[in-house]
Amino acid sequence: MEGKARGGTVLIVEADAAERERLGSALEREGFDVLQCSGPSPPDYGCVGGREGRCALMGSADVVVLDLWLESDAMLAGTPSGELLRLYLGAGKPVLMLGSFEGFNHGLEAEAVERLGRAPEPEDLIRAVRTLAKAVPQQEGRSPRRA
């Protein structure tokens, strides 16, 4: 899609390419621009966000969809999904967490966070992302978001 989508921009951080594409397609059909990232990958399972404390893709995202079981979590190496969650929330990005939330609930009650299981149905994904997009404060020079 060219230009700013009516729904805003969503960053999907998901290790599985097919699932990343499925989620992205559902969001694009609903008018969102989508950025995709596989998350930390071999050989060291680190990512720029974990090393530098910022991520170029994150900067233009209004909402982040984060799989809580990335390759780095499976390998017990590099940048875990919990560290990415803290990075995104610390940058003021609302996050839709996908997967098992065990160990991720403490301290998130007041944050802009939604939770869904793995491989959510498109309707549930869209509903959660729209809810989070509405929570994004309007920034100077940005048009209001319609969900």
pLDDT averaged per 10 residues, the chain (length 147): 67 96 97 94 82 81 94 88 89 90 58 87 96 70 36
Domains and CATH numbers, the chain: 9-135 (3.40.50.2300)
Helices (H), 2-121: 17-29, 48-52, 56-59, 71-75, 81-90
Q: For residue 117, give every residue at least 6 positions away whose Cβ sits within 8 Å of its Cβ, in sequence order, or none.
A: 98, 99
pLDDT of residue 104: 58
The reported pTM is 0.84
C-alpha–C-alpha distance, residues 23 and 120, integer Å: 8
